[in-house]
C-alpha cells in the first residue's frame, strides 16, 4: 500500500515560530500573491539622466532621505537616446495627466527649471512626484513617497510632448 504524502497538510507544523508562538514579522513576504502587479521599470532619456545625476549630487540624504532613495532608484533605470524614448513615456518638458490614489485627474507640466510645486500646474522634476513620474509610461502605477513618509500610488493617464 502506497501512502500519498502532501507536505502542505503539515505546513503549520513546519512554519517558523518566534519564542512567543507567533509568526515572526515579515514571514511569508516572499510569497507574492498573483494579483500584486510587478514593479514598473522606468525608461529615461539621456537628457533626463543628466539632470537627475545633477540633482543626486545636490541632494543631501540627511535632509531629503526619501528623495535621495527615489533618485537613486530612477537612476538605476535603463537609458535610451532622446529620439528612441517611447512616445508614451514621461520626460522633462512633457505635460502629464495623472491620478494619486485613484483620486481626481490632475495635469502638470514636468519642468527641470522649477524647484517647487506650483499651483499653476508645474511639477518640479526635483520633487518626489517629479522624480517618480520621470520614465513612467501611460497606464503604469508606481508607489509615491511623500515627505512625511506616507506612501500612496500614482498612475499616469496620459503624456503630451
What is the pLDDT averaged over residues 45-64? 92
pLDDT score at 22: 53
Is residue 48 in a domain?
Answer: yes
> HSE of 25 in the Cβ direction (CA atoms, 13 Å)?
0
Is residue 127 in a domain?
Answer: yes
What is the pLDDT averaged over residues 5-15? 42
The model's confidence at residue 147, banded by pLDDT at 50, 70 and 90, is confident
Is residue 100 in a domain?
Answer: yes
- Give residue-wise pLDDT tens across range 60-86: 888 888 998 999 889 988 999 999 999
The model's confidence at residue 93, banded by pLDDT at 50, 70 and 90, is very high
pLDDT greater than 90 at residue 44: yes
Instruction: Look at residues 46, 53, 89, 83 and name the one whose alpha carbon lies nearest to residue 71.
Output: 53
Is residue 28 in a domain?
Answer: no
Is residue 62 in a domain?
Answer: yes
- Indicate the pairing of strand 106-111 with strand 122-124: parallel
What are the two backbone dihedrals, phi and then psi, of residue 43, each rounded to the nearest 5 degrees? -125, 120
What is the pLDDT averaged over residues 14-27? 48
Is residue 103 in a domain?
Answer: yes
Instruction: Check: pTM over 0.75? Answer yes or no.
Output: no
pLDDT score at 4: 45
Which of the residue ranges 7-11, 44-48, 139-143 would you say has the lowest mean pLDDT? 7-11
Number of compact structural domains in the chain: 1
Query: Residue 54: helix, strand or coil by DSSP?
Result: helix
Is residue 147 in a domain?
Answer: yes
- The continuous run of DSSP H or E covering 40 comes out as none
Q: Would you state the cell numbers that stand for residue 68, as one nine-digit string?
A: 535621495
pLDDT greater than 80 at residue 135: yes
Q: Would you state the cell numbers that stand for residue 107, as one nine-digit string?
A: 495635469
Is residue 124 in a domain?
Answer: yes
What is the pLDDT averaged over residues 41-67? 90
Domain region containing 90? 44-160
- Helices 65-75 + 46-58 axis angle, to 10: 150
Domain holding 55: CATH number?
A: 3.10.50.30
Amino acid at each position: 500500500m502506497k501512502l500519498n504524502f502532501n507536505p502542505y497538510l503539515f505546513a503549520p507544523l513546519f512554519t517558523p515560530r518566534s519564542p512567543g508562538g507567533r509568526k515572526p514579522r515579515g514571514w511569508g513576504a516572499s510569497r507574492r500573491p498573483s494579483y500584486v502587479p510587478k514593479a514598473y521599470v522606468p525608461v529615461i532619456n539621456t537628457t533626463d539622466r543628466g539632470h537627475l545625476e545633477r540633482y543626486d549630487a545636490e541632494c543631501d540624504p540627511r535632509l531629503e532621505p526619501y528623495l535621495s532613495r527615489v533618485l537613486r532608484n530612477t537612476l538605476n533605470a535603463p537609458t535610451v537616446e532622446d529620439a528612441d524614448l517611447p512616445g508614451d513615456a514621461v520626460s522633462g518638458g512633457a505635460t502629464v495627466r495623472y491620478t494619486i490614489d485613484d483620486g481626481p485627474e490632475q495635469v502638470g507640466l514636468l519642468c527641470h527649471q522649477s524647484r517647487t510645486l506650483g499651483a499653476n500646474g508645474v511639477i518640479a522634476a526635483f520633487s518626489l512626484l517629479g522624480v517618480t513620474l520621470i520614465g513612467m509610461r501611460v497606464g503604469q502605477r508606481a508607489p509615491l513617497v511623500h515627505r512625511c513618509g506616507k506612501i500612496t500610488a500614482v498612475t499616469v493617464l496620459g503624456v503630451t510632448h
